[in-house]
Amino acid sequence: MKAAVIVGARPNFMKAAPLIREFKARGRVETLLVHTGQHYDGNMSRVFFDDLELPEPDIYLGVGSGSHAAQTARIMTAFEGVVERERPDLVAVVGDVNSTLACSLVAAKLLVPVAHVEAGLRSFDRTMPEETNRMVTDILSRFCFTTSPEAETNLLREGVTADRIFYVGNIMIDSLLFYLEKAESSRVLDDLGLAPGGYVLVTLHRPSNVDDPARLAGIMDALGEIARSVPVVFPVHPRTRKMIEASGVGIAAARGMRLVEPLGYLDFVKAERHARIVITDSGGIQEETTVLGIPCLTVRENTERPITIEIGTNVLVGTDPGRIREEAARILGGAAREHRVPPLWDGGTAGRIADVLERHFA
């Protein structure tokens, strides 16, 4: 059996790596690693190949940035040729980025079964580009591999039949647990002058937060306030850096904040594990902090990962600067809450996916 595994953007690499490792270990699936090139900066792509010990991509499409339609179309056009030439038995996509959608659509039209890893997540917010990507990918997928029970409910409601849904757990957590010990040897805290448990870690990149200068300024003000009482370190996503530079917001508010380049995987995991609080609008970071038991404030009005709120460490704080400051102060003041790790977020997800696929293709 030959499986094309698709990566394109930062959150794809830690989801694809366990699957590729599992396929290689079993020796029964030939993998073709396709990198669309949606993300291309060294610290958004190359570093993850090194940190996650990913093989070099077999095929690099080099599509780069663009509008949604332009980027999606470039990926589709380039990937169509790959599928026609390579004739994989399966196309495996992860997450909810434009590369996920584009490659699913190409495979579906060429009648190659699609496996979607991280299926069924819904924010019910159609203003998020990812929501469209998730819905379309799921409806096209022969295998919907889900991370949590409510994903199955979401899929059934949209007409995905039960025989296509497989609750296998969270593959991103396979990478987290696999590299947790190795990440401890990262020097990132020393390099940034941070003490374990003594800083707040921030990431922001949702267009709804960073593309609107007024909203971005409000969030930066709140972070600047928090930085008056505790060090705040903020690895800045390229979209966000562009917006900060373009609008000039946050330059003043950034006083006391450490704005740094995006971190590699091992450095980021180390910084996450030892943070006092993580403040983010990332999808994956809500999940990693739940497993690490680190309080997470999510700067959004909704989440497609409700389990991290129901049983994990995540709190939706919205985008109101006052609320962000208050919730951070509460945690810094010692407030703690009970939390549990969701079932099957245990490091064994890639194995369960490989079992399903091997049974099917046998």
List 39, 205, 237, 274, catalytic entry:
205
Size of the site for ligand UD1 (CB under 6 A): 19
Residue 213 contacts ligand UD1 per CB under 6 A: no
What minimum distance in Å lies between the beta carbon of 175 and ligand UDP?
7
Subset of residues 122 to 141 that bind ligand UDP, contact rule: CB under 6 A: none
Residue 234 contacts ligand UDP per CB under 6 A: no
Closest CA to 346 of 6, 101, 10, 18: 18
Contact by Cβ (8 Å): 100, 93: yes
Tell me whether residue 9 or residue 254 sits nearer to ligand UD1 (CB atom): 9
Contact by Cβ (8 Å): 232, 226: yes
What minimum distance in Å lies between the beta carbon of 71 and ligand UD1?
6
Tell me whether residue 10 or residue 74 sits nearer to ligand UDP (CB atom): 10
Out of 7, 22, 33, 40, the only residue in the binding site for ligand UD1 (CB under 6 A) is: 40
Residue 312 contacts ligand UDP per CB under 6 A: no
Out of 8, 120, 231, 262, the only residue in the binding site for ligand UDP (CB under 6 A) is: 262
**Distance (Å, whole) CA 309 – CA 304:** 10
**Distance (Å, whole) CA 150 – CA 157:** 11
Residue 263 contacts ligand UDP per CB under 6 A: yes
Residue 121 contacts ligand UD1 per CB under 6 A: no
**Distance (Å, whole) CA 272 – CA 267:** 9
Residue 238 contacts ligand UD1 per CB under 6 A: yes
Residue 268 contacts ligand UDP per CB under 6 A: yes
| Binding flags for ligand UD1, 84-113, as an x/- string (CB under 6 A) | ------------xxx---------------
Contact by Cβ (8 Å): 116, 154: no
**Distance (Å, whole) CA 58 – CA 7:** 11
- 339 has catalytic annotation: no
Indicate the angle between helix axes 68-86 and 98-109, nearest 10 degrees: 40
Tell me whether residue 164 or residue 239 sits nearer to ligand UD1 (CB atom): 239
**Distance (Å, whole) CA 121 – CA 146:** 8
- Cα 312 to its chain centre, rounded Å, is 17
Contact by Cβ (8 Å): 282, 304: no
Q: In sequence order, what are the residues at sequence separation of 6 or more whose Cβ sits closer than 8 angstroms to the Cβ of residue 106?
A: 76, 79, 80, 83, 91
- Cα 224 to its chain centre, rounded Å, is 26
List contacts with ligand UDP (CB under 6 A).
Answer: 10-11, 14, 203, 235, 262-263, 265, 268-269, 282-285, 288
Query: Which residues lie near ligand UD1 (CB under 6 A)?
Result: 9-11, 38-41, 44, 65, 96-98, 129-130, 205, 237-239, 242
Which residue numbers are catalytic?
A: 205
